C-alpha cells in the first residue's frame, strides 16, 4: 500500500517536472531558437516546426513533447547529429563509476572517522577530525580539485592531470577501475567528489555515536561486562547504520549532480562534462535530454531509498500508512 502511494507520488513529481522543463524550453525561450539548429536553412526550419508541432496550440505541443520523451526521442544533437539521448547514455557509465567510487571513498573513510570522533569527542583526535570535516564542508569543490591537480599531478607528478584512461568492458559497460592506469586516473576526481560527502558522513556518524553511547542499552551492555569493542560493534554501530545508509542513498543523486563540476575540472568524459560542453555551444536538445534523464534518476533514487527505508524501519511504515 505504502509502495503504491509512493509510486503515485513519484509519477506525479515526474509529470510536474516534465511540465516545468517544457515551460522552461517552450514558453520562456523561443522554442524555434532552442530546438532548431541556427545553421539550418528555411526549408529545414519549416520542416522541423511541422515535425515538432510548434505551429499547433500549446497543450498539443506539450503532448508531442511528452510522447517524444516517453519513447526516448528527445531530438538530435546540433553538434553531433545523433539523438541527444544516445550521447547522454553513452556518457552515463563514466559518471556512475565516478559517483560510486566517490561514495565508496566517503563511506570507507567517513564511518570509521565519525565513529572515532563520536567515541572521543573531547580528545585531540576527535577535535581534529571535526575541524577537518568543517573544512571539508567549506572548501569549494572546484578549488579543491585544482589544488589536487596542482599538488599530485604538477608538483609531485604521481597521478595524471585529466582524462579517464583506458577502460575495460564488464558486461558491456566500460569501466576503468580494473586496470592500474585507469585506477590512477580515477583516484583524484573520485577523491575530489568524495570530500563533501565524507564530511557529511563524519558529522552524521559522530552525532549518531554520541547519542547511542548515552542510551540505556549501551549502559546495560557495559554493566553486563561486554567488552568495549563489542559494545561499539554490536550496540552502537548497528544502530547508527540505518540513518547512515539512508543518507548515502539519498546523497547518491546529489553526487551525480556535483560530478558536473568535478568532471569539468578533470576532463572526465561523463554526462556532467557533456552538459557543460553543450551549454557552451548551445546544443539545447542535449541540455533538455540531460535534464530529463537526471530528473528521472533522482526520482527513481528517492523512491528506492524510501522503499528500502520502510523495509528497514517499521516505524516509518506505520506513520506513512496513516
User: Where along the sequence are the contacts to another protein (CB under 8 A)?
Assistant: 13, 16-17, 24-25, 28-29, 134-135, 137-143, 146-147, 149-150, 154-155, 161, 253-254, 257-258, 260-261, 264, 275-276, 279-280, 287, 291, 294-295, 298, 302
Q: Using an 8 Å Cβ cutoff, are 287 and 279 in contact? A: yes
- Distance of closest approach, residue 35 Cβ to another protein, in angstroms: 12
User: Is the torsion defined by CA of 53, 57, 58, 63 positive or negative?
Assistant: negative
Nearer to another protein by Cβ, of 50 and 135: the residue is 135
Could you tell me how far CA 269 lies from the centroid of its own chain? 16
- Distance of closest approach, residue 276 Cβ to another protein, in angstroms: 6
Q: Using an 8 Å Cβ cutoff, are 260 and 243 in contact? A: no
Which residues have C-beta within 8 Å of that of residue 246, sequence separation ≥ 6?
305, 308, 309
Nearer to another protein by Cβ, of 31 and 182: the residue is 31
Q: Using an 8 Å Cβ cutoff, are 77 and 165 in contact? A: no
Which residues have C-beta within 8 Å of that of residue 24, sequence separation ≥ 6?
none
Nearer to another protein by Cβ, of 167 and 199: the residue is 199
- Distance of closest approach, residue 143 Cβ to another protein, in angstroms: 4
Nearer to another protein by Cβ, of 167 and 192: the residue is 192
Longest Cα pair distance anywhere in the chain, in angstroms? Answer: 85
- Distance of closest approach, residue 196 Cβ to another protein, in angstroms: 11
Nearer to another protein by Cβ, of 18 and 167: the residue is 18
All three cell numbers of 56: 499547433
All three cell numbers of 246: 539512508
- Distance of closest approach, residue 217 Cβ to another protein, in angstroms: 23
- Distance of closest approach, residue 230 Cβ to another protein, in angstroms: 31
Cβ atoms within 10 Å of 159's Cβ, excluding its own:
17
> If DSSP codes are grouped into helix, strand and coil, which group holds residue 220?
helix
- Distance of closest approach, residue 258 Cβ to another protein, in angstroms: 6
Nearer to another protein by Cβ, of 224 and 322: the residue is 322
Q: Using an 8 Å Cβ cutoff, are 116 and 123 in contact? A: no
Nearer to another protein by Cβ, of 150 and 227: the residue is 150
Amino acid at each position: 500500500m505504502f509502495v503504491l502511494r509512493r509510486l503515485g507520488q513519484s509519477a506525479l513529481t515526474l509529470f510536474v517536472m516534465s511540465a516545468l522543463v517544457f515551460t522552461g524550453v517552450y514558453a520562456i525561450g523561443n522554442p524555434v531558437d532552442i530546438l532548431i539548429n541556427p545553421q539550418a536553412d528555411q526549408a529545414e526550419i519549416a520542416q522541423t516546426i511541422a515535425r515538432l508541432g510548434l505551429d499547433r496550440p500549446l497543450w498539443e505541443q506539450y503532448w508531442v513533447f511528452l510522447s517524444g520523451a516517453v519513447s526516448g526521442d528527445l531530438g538530435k544533437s546540433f553538434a553531433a547529429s545523433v539523438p541527444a539521448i544516445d550521447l547522454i547514455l553513452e556518457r552515463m557509465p563514466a559518471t556512475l563509476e565516478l559517483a560510486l567510487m566517490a561514495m565508496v571513498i566517503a563511506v570507507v573513510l567517513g564511518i570509521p572517522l565519525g565513529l572515532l570522533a563520536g567515541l572521543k569527542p573531547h580528545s585531540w583526535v576527535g577535535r581534529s577530525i571535526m575541524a577537518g570535516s568543517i573544512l571539508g564542508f567549506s572548501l569549494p569543490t572546484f578549488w579543491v580539485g585544482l589544488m589536487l591537480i596542482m599538488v599530485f599531478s604538477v608538483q609531485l607528478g604521481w597521478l595524471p592531470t585529466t582524462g579517464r584512461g583506458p577502460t575495460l568492458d564488464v558486461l558491456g559497460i566500460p569501466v576503468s577501475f580494473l586496470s592500474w592506469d585507469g585506477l590512477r586516473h580515477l583516484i583524484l576526481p573520485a577523491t575530489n567528489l568524495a570530500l563533501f560527502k565524507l564530511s557529511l558522513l563524519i558529522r552524521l556518524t559522530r552525532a549518531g555515536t554520541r547519542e547511542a553511547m548515552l542510551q540505556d542499552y549501551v549502559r546495560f551492555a557495559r554493566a553486563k561486562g561486554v567488552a568495549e569493542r563489542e559494545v561499539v560493534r554490536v550496540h552502537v554501530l548497528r544502530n547508527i547504520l540505518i540513518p547512515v545508509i539512508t543518507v548515502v542513498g539519498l546523497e547518491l543523486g546529489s553526487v551525480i549532480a556535483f560530478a558536473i563540476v568535478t568532471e569539468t575540472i578533470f576532463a572526465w568524459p561523463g554526462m556532467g562534462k557533456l552538459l557543460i560542453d553543450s551549454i557552451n555551444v548551445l546544443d539545447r536538445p542535449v541540455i533538455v535530454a540531460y535534464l530529463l534523464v537526471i530528473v528521472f534518476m533522482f526520482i527513481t533514487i528517492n523512491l528506492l531509498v524510501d522503499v528500502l527505508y520502510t523495509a528497514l524501519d517499521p516505524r516509518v511504515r506505520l506513520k506513512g500508512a496513516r
